[in-house]
Amino acid sequence: MNDLEKVRVAIGDRVKADENLISANGELVDFQVRHENIWDVNVYLDDVLTTTGITVSGIPGVIAFATAPADGIEVRVTFKYAAFSDIELQQYIDDYDVDQAIIMALEGILSSVARQRDYKEADSEVKNSQVFAQVEKLLTYWNKKVSNKKGVTKGRRIHEQYKSTEPTDADLSRLM
């Protein structure tokens, strides 16, 4: 298993395949598919593979035609997608290491509601708060694993403005 696959397995980000069917109206040139981070895109006009006059913007998931397909033409777009593109994950791996790439990816999942929905694959039985809690547990696990492996201790940085002016030997018993 290569490093990219290790990261995908650790964060539960499986590569999936999908297709969108769109009926052209003769005017629209940009088509948004239902996922972001798409690749291996094939576009068919009335079941004929089209390779010219098309621009694919994979991260936002937009297919742009140089000329709008004629009214009534069926546009079928097939593609692969995941919460993260291979390029994004590989950049994390190159910049850090596999363990830190996992942490970065999990933090990305937590910070993006859209990616959370892709991550849970539109499962209506699982609430976003449950997905968030599960990913947060994974993030905690990997942070501890990396800290233990490297002997790193996380500390809190306190801005000068918020530092106490009281002596450190102050009686704090009333706070307990």
**Tokens 């999908």 map to which residue?**
18
CA distance 21 to 77: 7
pLDDT in tens, 140-157: 888 887 776 655 444 444
Using the predicted structure, report yes or no on whether residue 159 has a pLDDT greater than 50.
no
CA distance 136 to 108: 11
Identify whether the C-beta of residue 19 lies closer than 8 Å to the C-beta of residue 78: yes
Q: What is the mean pLDDT of the chain?
A: 79
pLDDT in tens, 100-114: 999 888 888 777 644
Phi, psi of 90 (to 5 degrees): -65, -35
CA distance 100 to 25: 47
Q: E strands of the chain, at which residues? A: 16-23, 30-32, 38-45, 48-50, 54-57, 62-65, 74-81
Q: Using CA atoms in the order 110, 116, 120, 125, what is the torsion angle rounded to 10 degrees?
A: 100
**Mean of the pLDDT values across residues 26-43?**
90
CA distance 26 to 6: 45
Question: pTM of the predicted model, to two decimals?
Answer: 0.61
